[in-house]
Copies of this chain bind each other. A is one copy, B any other.
Amino acid sequence: MVKEKPLHCDMRGMLSFLILFLLSKSAMHGQQLADEMEKRKGIRPSPGTIYPALKELKEAGLILEEKKGKTIVYHLSKGGERELKLAKQQFCRTFVGVFVRGNEG
Protein backbone atom coordinates (compact mmCIF):
# COMPACT_ATOMS: atom_id res chain seq x y z
CA MET A 1 0.00 0.00 0.00
CA VAL A 2 1.39 3.40 -0.96
CA LYS A 3 1.31 6.42 1.26
CA GLU A 4 -1.84 8.15 0.09
CA LYS A 5 -3.55 8.35 3.43
CA PRO A 6 -4.52 11.83 4.50
CA LEU A 7 -3.09 13.19 7.73
CA HIS A 8 -6.45 13.23 9.45
CA CYS A 9 -7.44 9.60 9.03
CA ASP A 10 -6.86 8.13 12.48
CA MET A 11 -5.22 8.83 15.79
CA ARG A 12 -1.75 8.47 14.36
CA GLY A 13 -0.37 11.55 12.71
CA MET A 14 -0.76 13.88 15.65
CA LEU A 15 2.93 14.77 15.56
CA SER A 16 2.74 15.72 11.90
CA PHE A 17 -0.45 17.62 12.60
CA LEU A 18 1.14 19.60 15.43
CA ILE A 19 4.18 20.41 13.30
CA LEU A 20 2.01 21.67 10.47
CA PHE A 21 0.00 23.76 12.90
CA LEU A 22 3.09 25.32 14.49
CA LEU A 23 4.62 26.07 11.11
CA SER A 24 1.38 27.71 10.03
CA LYS A 25 1.78 30.12 12.93
CA SER A 26 5.38 30.89 12.08
CA ALA A 27 8.08 29.49 9.81
CA MET A 28 10.74 27.82 11.94
CA HIS A 29 13.76 25.59 11.80
CA GLY A 30 13.95 22.22 13.54
CA GLN A 31 15.30 23.33 16.87
CA GLN A 32 12.84 26.19 17.15
CA LEU A 33 10.10 23.64 16.55
CA ALA A 34 11.52 21.55 19.38
CA ASP A 35 11.63 24.66 21.59
CA GLU A 36 7.97 25.36 20.93
CA MET A 37 6.94 21.77 21.63
CA GLU A 38 8.91 21.76 24.84
CA LYS A 39 7.13 24.93 25.91
CA ARG A 40 3.75 23.35 25.21
CA LYS A 41 4.18 19.75 26.25
CA GLY A 42 6.89 20.16 28.85
CA ILE A 43 8.96 17.52 27.08
CA ARG A 44 11.49 18.25 24.37
CA PRO A 45 11.25 15.94 21.37
CA SER A 46 14.64 14.48 20.50
CA PRO A 47 16.32 15.00 17.12
CA GLY A 48 15.38 11.42 16.29
CA THR A 49 11.73 12.44 16.55
CA ILE A 50 11.67 15.82 14.90
CA TYR A 51 13.84 15.37 11.83
CA PRO A 52 12.30 12.19 10.46
CA ALA A 53 8.89 13.82 10.86
CA LEU A 54 10.04 16.90 8.96
CA LYS A 55 11.52 14.70 6.28
CA GLU A 56 8.23 12.89 5.75
CA LEU A 57 6.27 16.12 5.58
CA LYS A 58 8.74 17.45 3.04
CA GLU A 59 8.54 14.29 0.93
CA ALA A 60 4.75 14.49 1.09
CA GLY A 61 4.98 18.00 -0.31
CA LEU A 62 3.33 19.60 2.69
CA ILE A 63 6.27 21.77 3.77
CA LEU A 64 9.07 23.55 1.96
CA GLU A 65 12.66 24.16 3.01
CA GLU A 66 14.63 27.36 2.87
CA LYS A 67 18.25 27.39 3.82
CA LYS A 68 19.11 30.23 6.17
CA GLY A 69 22.76 30.22 7.16
CA LYS A 70 23.33 27.26 9.44
CA THR A 71 19.68 26.31 9.66
CA ILE A 72 16.83 25.13 7.47
CA VAL A 73 13.65 27.10 7.84
CA TYR A 74 10.45 25.21 7.11
CA HIS A 75 7.16 26.67 6.03
CA LEU A 76 3.89 25.28 4.72
CA SER A 77 3.33 24.68 1.06
CA LYS A 78 -0.04 25.37 -0.52
CA GLY A 79 -0.80 21.69 -0.18
CA GLY A 80 0.26 21.84 3.45
CA GLU A 81 -2.16 24.67 4.09
CA ARG A 82 -4.99 22.73 2.49
CA GLU A 83 -4.10 19.60 4.44
CA LEU A 84 -3.87 21.51 7.71
CA LYS A 85 -7.26 23.07 7.17
CA LEU A 86 -8.87 19.65 6.72
CA ALA A 87 -6.94 18.15 9.61
CA LYS A 88 -7.99 21.00 11.89
CA GLN A 89 -11.64 20.41 11.11
CA GLN A 90 -11.25 16.70 11.81
CA PHE A 91 -9.32 17.39 15.00
CA CYS A 92 -11.85 19.86 16.32
CA ARG A 93 -14.81 17.60 15.61
CA THR A 94 -13.06 14.66 17.23
CA PHE A 95 -12.08 16.47 20.40
CA VAL A 96 -15.12 18.66 20.88
CA GLY A 97 -15.71 19.02 24.59
CA VAL A 98 -12.15 18.37 25.67
CA PHE A 99 -11.23 22.00 25.43
CA VAL A 100 -12.91 23.82 28.27
CA ARG A 101 -11.87 27.06 29.82
CA GLY A 102 -9.81 26.18 32.85
CA ASN A 103 -8.02 23.18 31.40
CA GLU A 104 -5.15 25.24 30.12
CA GLY A 105 -3.65 26.09 33.53
Listed in ascending order, the chain A residues whose CB lies under 8 Å from chain B are 9-11, 14-15, 18, 21, 25, 37, 40-43, 45, 88-99, 103-105
Contact = CB atoms under 8 A, between A and B. Distances in A.
A105 B93 CA distance: 8
Given A88-B103, A98-B21, A99-B99, A93 B11 contact: no
B40 A94 contact: yes
A44 to B, nearest CB: 11
Contacts of A96: 40, 104
Contact of A103 (B18, B40, B92, B103): B92
Contacts of A97: 21, 25
A98 B88 contact: yes
Given A11-B15, A41-B93, A91-B95, 6 more contacts: A11-B18, A14-B14, A88-B103, A89-B103, A92-B104, A95-B99
